[in-house]
Amino acid sequence: MTPYQRLVLASRPRGEPTADNFRLETVEVPALQDGQLLVRNHYLSLDPYMRGRMSESKSYAASQALDETMIGGTAGEVVASRHPDFAVGDAVVGNGGWTEMTLSDGTGLRKVDTSRIPLSAYLGAVGMPGMTAWYGLNRILELKAGQTLCVSAASGAVGSAVGQLAKLQGVRAVGIAGGPEKCAYVVDELGFDACVDYKAGNLFADLKAAAPDGIDGIFENVAGEVFDAALAQTNAFARVALCGMIAGYNGEDIPLRSVRALLKNRITLRGFIVTEHLDCWPQGLAELGTLVADSKLKYRESVAEGLPAAPEAFIGLLKGRNFGKQLVKLI
């Protein structure tokens, strides 16, 4: 087979990542040993958590090693196999990394059915982002019909699923997103009750107007001012699923000003990492898959073309330039 390309971490970012932090390499296709298989990756998933792995600072997960293939979720097809559980042609999802080909011993690799669900959806609504939404909503927020949810980064892969799943439970869903186009999509296409444009300059007042009965649950992806605005509207005994803080992935401090609300409203807040709750995945993925197949859970993808486009797409993701799930199409 012809050589393939991969992207390695060349250097750790200081502040915002740049294209220089990555290096494109050409690699020979390895020979298979018994128990191994080779996957041709069709899609690479780009996710905000990757920014944390690029730093050396202590986090919940090990740092990405320098000069190694960048970690990342992938969906692809088995093109060679000496593994008893995988055959050539199987559609698979796993953590192949930023690379066109992945040699695997099957660990963490999952065969998926693409007859009713597109392969790429297994990296989004029926994958880690979807499960993140499902877990935070069903295991942390546990809202009742009629209550109000606020979710930031509402047009993103996680946020869009959170709001739609909440609506299916009879919860009022209020999104926060950047710009009128994303907000219109969140309301008109995804069916949220309202969406506040944090770039419009009236975040606190607009959110108050969008959540006239107050906020009972916050699904927080951004932190910073967006989180403060939501906390300022919380009702007593509100709950917060703290999922991400895109606003602070470059290492800067993002002070939270509404600390008082945490006490005053007797709020329960939980930070979580969905990969630590794998016991929930079978149930969650089954539900998400059914909803996607039945067109009850919609999603949007921003697709960059070709592996060399991955660094710029990733940098754009951290700045909110994507619209929906950010993917890189590799084939």
Residue 256 interacts with a second copy (CB under 8 A)? yes
Q: Are 156 and 47 in contact (CB under 8 A)?
A: no
Residue 254 interacts with a second copy (CB under 8 A)? yes
Q: Which stretch binds a second copy (CB under 8 A): 40-48, 117-125, 147-155, 247-255?
A: 247-255
Residue in 75, 117, 125, 223 binding a second copy, rule: CB under 8 A: 223
Q: Which stretch binds a second copy (CB under 8 A): 32-40, 77-85, 271-279, 317-325?
A: 271-279
Residue 262 interacts with a second copy (CB under 8 A)? yes
Residue 319 interacts with a second copy (CB under 8 A)? no
Maximal CA-CA distance, the chain = 64
Question: Residue 288 has which token pair?
Answer: 């998400």
Amino acid at 157: A
The pair phi, psi for residue 152, each rounded to 5°, is: -90, 165
Q: Which stretch binds a second copy (CB under 8 A): 22-30, 118-126, 172-180, 237-245?
A: 237-245
> How distant, in Å, are the alpha carbons of 27, 99, 100, 319 from that of 3?
5, 11, 10, 33
**Interface size with a second copy, residues (CB under 8 A):** 31
Residue 270 interacts with a second copy (CB under 8 A)? yes
Reported residue count of the chain is 331
The pair phi, psi for residue 249, each rounded to 5°, is: -70, -15
Amino acid at 181: E
Residue in 209, 236, 286, 331 binding a second copy, rule: CB under 8 A: 236
Tell me how far, at minimum, the Cβ of 7 lies from a second copy, in Å.
26
Of 72, 47, 55, 44, nearest to 16 by C-alpha is: 55
Residues binding a second copy (CB under 8 A): 58-60, 223, 227, 236, 242-245, 248, 253-257, 259-260, 262-273, 276
